[in-house]
Amino acid sequence: EVQLVESGGVLVQPGGSVRLSCAASGFTFSDHYMDWVRQAPGKGLEWVARIRKRSNSYSTEYAASVKGRFTISRDDSKSSLYLQMNSLQTGDTAVYYCARVAIMFHCDFWGQGTLVTVSS
């Protein structure tokens, strides 16, 4: 059974940093691109970042709203995905989901999400 479990959500002050983790199991993690997607309270879904697999040099893509502040990374030996979030703003308050990217490039499995609240 595919499982994605996020952790690291916290209350942080504006300008602070947070590192989210996503532990994957039930599939060959190294075979898949992975995404982070967020959802602000009461709002819609916003794609945040993607990391490709080793054969694609672990290359990355970011939404303009987070580029230069957030860094997506992975550790295939630990089947784990990460999101380093720096210079956090109140607008970054959201539930952050990690998601597995299927061969057709949509997200076919999602974690349960972890809440990051940016507030003073």
Give the residues lining the site for another protein (CB under 8 A): 35, 37, 44-47, 50, 61-64, 97, 102, 104-108, 110-113
Which residue, 12 or 111, has its beta carbon nearer to another protein? 111
Q: Provide the residue type at 120 as one letter.
A: S
Least separation in angstroms between CB 77 and another protein: 26
b/e per residue 60-71 (b: at least 16 CB within 10 A): bebeeebeeebb
**Phi and psi at residue 32, to the nearest 5°:** -120, 140
Structure tokens at 18: 């947070």
Which residue, 54 or 105, has its beta carbon nearer to another protein? 105
Which residue, 41 or 77, has its beta carbon nearer to another protein? 41
Least separation in angstroms between CB 65 and another protein: 9
**Phi and psi at residue 56, to the nearest 5°:** -105, 25
Least separation in angstroms between CB 13 and another protein: 26
Per-residue DSSP letter, 88: -
